[in-house]
Structure 1
């Protein structure tokens, strides 16, 4: 059995950062266990290629949620990265930190050190923002942030004008002074290639002699001596192996895999573990509970002028943009599907924005089994405006089904399970039509395709978004941070309550979800968590 100072389980958005920060001084040895394989794959590195990784079992866990009454009993597809870089290697690359109020609420809930003013210096240190440095943005950090304002499609410019006509102010930086308004998304790319956590952090760390990364290594159990974590059991190439941690075991598997591994290791709800004949190391009812996720839906229109459909669908168009990308590392393939977006309030009484917008200059209405047809859109000119809720009140859970570490856990989202979530989503979808009715967009719309002009009553609109909504891939809070062991899994320093030598550092520790995409906040959590580890082991 080999011994390392630290064992990091998971090489995703947080885990890659943790491994880099802990190994930087050369003082400590770090083992990283990754269940997936290499990120050196063409469709991973090409930004719009994530349409190809959306169902690819080689790089994607392809989880499936339970049939959800809130989603008209559909069983939602939950992609998660099984690859170096984790979900940062297959996501849509939108760089949104979250609102000031989100982090201030974390601190006010009893988590000192997590306020916006505390985490802003970390965000700035992370960033190499193409738009330049200022009091909110950073320059020179490991994560390159591309400012796409000069590169967007003309229809995106129309969307921005229509949003302004509908009452949303222009916003040049959602990570700046305020989040509210409409603008162009910054994305994690550099010179037309994805900047994942693996590329920004883990790859540089792998060049160090004190870092070892084991791929295709599925962690199956945390090893304990009494109440102290001392190592990890994992399976690699069909062989069961163990590694010992001289200082700490750090779980960075994300909101699904971290609670799953805790439960498999005897840390979780006592009755669940007893029913599955798993010896209880530490009964902790909140492991896997408090699941929060953003739910989203798209409205789609046919346009009277060409969209990206006309260039991405035909073979000659694919050839053209492919050559453009290979030679110049630019064009549609170098960008995210979400060029424009924004944040708005569903009513004036909301203290801050509670909905996020996404503008896509193509449409994918026609179904294609087992594929997300980003690179083969509809044969007619189409575009979509989507949205997702920022702070839903619905709560779900993630629980193991058996003691088998290869069995997928049971994911129960409980989407739209509160009247509040249903009511605000109803108001939100009406706002999508308001944007489309503004002169800047109405001038280029031939017809509404989804949900279609016949869907007008509140009851029909609710039925429609229940049928067509789904996760926007931002699950958090299943190993929630907080000072009270009866309500949280980890303390404000990310140590698992009631145990020694064990932390969780990933998006599962978020006390509550943030307003926006979760990747930036996950990377920040990795950086801050690693700082805490280093402080405790000086």
Structure 2
């Protein structure tokens, strides 16, 4: 079939692009998504992430692994990615964080014209339907519902108080004038309406309401296997369904929106990337582009967990089962209760040193014991706190493990390959431990898991290398820029080709200081305007 635009990948960015482009009834749009529609109850119920994230079994989740990481004692890391319309916004913790305004000014100063804070803010505001309404920094009418948590636990407020006892100021809006401080996260969740308390994924916000449009064709269960080129122009996408091979032709543009792992993999499978590496995998080079798959950045995260004698949190036990049933009924009735939780209810943005220009550490406080991404369970109750380095120096890459388009890509983040990251993560861990030891959390603390006896830097670093892993923010593998290693230009067009763009977190030149879903949606909003302007 022939369309004006073909989009490979229906995740956070792809959902936005498809919905925005198809607003024009004179334009035909095809969206290809390997997963399902993203309307399942486990997705709609925020607490359902406990079943989706571990990837055992792989429910709505690609559940990738990294190659062994020397910086993590040779362990393989785990990389969950959403596999449904909405992508990872269908299985994440729903936290709405934009990053620091300086992050975007850095992009612009590095040559990414049009991506400064003042230039991207209108797209954040266009996307945002914030419960607090419209002001200079927020949008109140956008499709992405952003609201207060429905029923935050007293434990999470105790965490914020513990931060205060460590001279960390209260911050009621991490996306406001100042990012630094501690508070409760706002979340991408429906509020004040029939769907109150349900997850608002990018698909639920943008795509599902648009799927009745006659000019929008959404094909689920469609695994993109290659971009078809006519010389140096992209003319369509090959894909595979349960019924076999198919081809979607694009008269105007092909958009790759497979995320930080899927987008470089699809380019490489199509012969777009470093010619030498492609030859080694038996893929004919169609366009030598050395930066494809390089520049991988991710937020490496370390967790400290405590057992608790209190039970007003998620846990495993007889009382927990009874509470779960009660909360399911409550959520189905009015959207409140613990089923509406993002789990990571509290958080903080910290400066490792007062001289820092902006926060360089982030905390996520979780109302459950989190061990190995929820893949290792503990009886009883407890809480956890995560710390991550916001702007890591370590750089990795995504390459082809094989020329089989259905095989997983080879993912090598090279965690802690730069010792500056290790030193900062250690410092952040010590700051986090101090917060967790504060009086405000005394009633909740019983026994610290794993690192209770660690006192020296060497002992703590040993624990970090033994247990640290991603907090799910990979970016940068199709980097935007103007130099020879850039994959796309500031218009997100693949360099040296026509009719082909990449639109997702892979285009970020550097990691932003925070969670990456809201910035990805912003990128897609801005890209849609670029594409409309190009077609005018």
> What TM-score comes out, normalization by structure 1 length?
0.95
Match of 2:68 in 1: 67
Aligned counterparts of 2:433 and 2:283: Cα–Cα separation in 1: 52
**Mapped pair 1:235 → 2:223:** no
2:348 — aligned with what? 342
Shift of 1:81: 1.1
1:276 counterpart = 2:276: no
- Residue 4 (structure 1) aligns with: 3
CA deviation after TM superposition for structure 1 residue 131, in Å: 2.0
Partners of 1:307 and 1:431 lie apart in 2 by 26
Per the alignment, do residues 221 and 444 of structure 1 end up closer, same or farther by CA in structure 2, a change over 3 Å counting? closer
Shift, 1:340, TM fit: 0.4
Q: Which residue of 1 aligns with 2:98?
A: 97
Aligned: 1:19 with 2:18: yes
Identify the residue that residue 389 of structure 1 maps to in structure 2.
Answer: 389
Unaligned runs of 5+ in 2: 191-195
Structure 1 residues 220-231: aligned runs within 5 Å: 220-231=225-236
Match 2:268 to one of 263, 285, 291: 263
Residues 339, 371 of structure 1: alpha-carbon distance in 2 compared, 3 angstrom cutoff: closer
Cα distance in 2 between the residues matched to 1:7 and 1:312: 49
Provide the C-alpha distance between the structure 2 equivalents of 1:153 and 1:60, rounded to a whole number of angstroms: 28
Q: CA RMSD in A?
A: 1.6
Q: Which secondary structure does the structure 2 equivalent of 1:339 belong to?
A: strand
Aligned residue in 1 for 2:193: none
Q: Where does residue 506 of structure 2 map in the other structure?
A: 508
Contact 2:100 2:358 (C-alpha < 8 Å) held by counterparts: no
Name stretches of at least 5 consecutive residues in structure 1 with no aligned partner: none
Residue 125 of structure 2 corresponds to which residue in structure 1?
A: 124
Equivalent residue runs for 1:407-486 within 5 Å: 407-452=407-452, 454-484=453-483, 486=484
1:431-483 CA deviation, whole Å, 9 max, x = no partner? 0111123222235423322311x111111111101111101110000000001
Q: Distance in 2 between matches of 1:319 and 1:346?
A: 42
Helix, strand or coil for the counterpart of 2:68? coil
Deviation at 1:279, TM superposition (A): 1.6
Cα shift readout 1:334-354 (whole Å, capped 9, x = no counterpart)? 110101001001122322101
Instruction: Give the match's secondary structure for 1:450.
Output: coil
Specify the alignment match of 2:139 in structure 1: 138
Deviations 1:80-118 (A, max 9, x none): 111111111111110001110111101111111111111
Shift of 1:311: 8.2
Q: Is contact 2:271-2:283 (8 Å) kept?
A: yes
- Residue 362 of structure 1 corresponds to which residue in structure 2? 368
* TM-score after normalising by structure 2: 0.96
* Shift in Å, 1:310: 5.4
2:211 maps to 206
**In the superposition, relative to structure 1, how do residues 309 and 257 fare at CA in structure 2: closer, same or farther (>3 Å)?**
closer
Question: 1:293 offset after TM fit, Å?
Answer: 0.2
Per-residue deviation, residues 493-535 of structure 1 (Å, max 9, x unmatched): 0000011110000000001001111000000011101110111
Is the 8 Å Cα contact of residues 316 and 381 (structure 2) preserved in structure 1? no
1:52–1:372 contact (8 Å) kept in structure 2: no
Q: Is contact 2:307-2:446 (8 Å) kept?
A: yes
Task: Give the match for residue 491 of structure 1.
Answer: 489
Structure 2 match to 1:329 = 335
Q: Is the Cα–Cα contact under 8 Å of residues 66 and 78 in structure 2 kept in the other structure?
A: yes
Are the counterparts in 1 of residues 111 and 482 from structure 2 also a CA contact under 8 Å? yes
Quote the residue 1:57 is aligned against: 58
Q: 1:420 to 1:411 in 2, by over 3 A?
A: same
Cα distance change of structure 1 residues 235 and 311 upon mapping to structure 2, 3 Å threshold: closer
Change (3 A) 1:310 1:234: closer
Aligned length: 528
Distance 2:443 2:246 in 1: 63
